[in-house]
Amino acid sequence: MRRSHRRVVARRRPVRWWLRRHRAVYWLFVVALAALTVHALAGAAARAEDARRRWGTARDVLVARHRLDIGDVLSADDFDVAGRPLAVLTDDAVDADAADDVTGRTVVAAIEAGEPLVRARLGPDGLRGVAALVPVGWRAVAVPVGDATVTLVVGDHVDLVAAVDAATGTTARMLAERAVVVAVDERAVTVAVPADAAPRVASAVTTGAVVPVLRSS
């Protein structure tokens, strides 16, 4: 026991000697460590307070009463007023007092039940039906479909390809990429394409077959 105690005491002596010789350095280290700790705690407190304000402060917005699909026209029966924390809202969320502004607008991107209505998913005011689904600056073109055409729904993205014409010897060529399906019926699929692609798509439709090719995104 005595030998063990002596070894412990011997190990402690160099530490005490170093502290006596470098007392200023030791206290400088202690002060710096304390300052860093205070700074870290202050930063954490500030972040916590900011999160508390954002999550604790609610804003009354319009939320979907049920799922709204592309092409639906909003009525007063489609939404309710609900409070949502500011942290989960985008800047274009529709305020509770703007119900009259969005009533009659067309949904251009699906909105799930309980989701806040956002203006980015609604068509421009005053436009209805297919016109509301056409992106600004784009054009809508009807493409005749046949039995072999893949099944499409509004909102799908397709590439438009001019089919091969054996009689004239023309080969398949791309007419437009990422066209948006805005209407579907038994005879044609109406697609929105960039304005510069509209003339060649229209020309291909009148002179031969145009095939919509479904994209995954």
Query: What pLDDT digit, counting tens, does each position of 145-203 carry?
Result: 877 778 899 989 999 998 866 566 667 889 999 999 999 988 899 999 999 999 999 99
Question: How far apart (Å, rounded) are the C-alpha atoms in residues 135 and 70?
Answer: 13
The residue whose two tokens read 């026991």 is 1
DSSP state letters, 48-101: HHHHHHHHH-EEEEEEESS-B-TT-B--GGGEEEEEEEGGG--TTBPBGGGHHH
- The SS3 assignment for 157 reads strand
Residues in the chain: 217
Question: Residue 37: enclosing H or E segment and its boundaries?
Answer: helix 23-56
Question: How far apart (Å, rounded) are the C-alpha atoms in residues 147 and 204?
Answer: 19
| pTM for the model | 0.60
Question: How far apart (Å, rounded) are the C-alpha atoms in residues 110 and 70?
Answer: 5
Strands of the chain, DSSP E? 58-64, 79-85, 138-144, 157-162, 173-184, 188-194, 210-214
Q: Who wins on pLDDT, 3 or 60? A: 60
Phi/psi of residue 9, each to 5°?
-65, -40
Quote the pLDDT of residue 140: 94
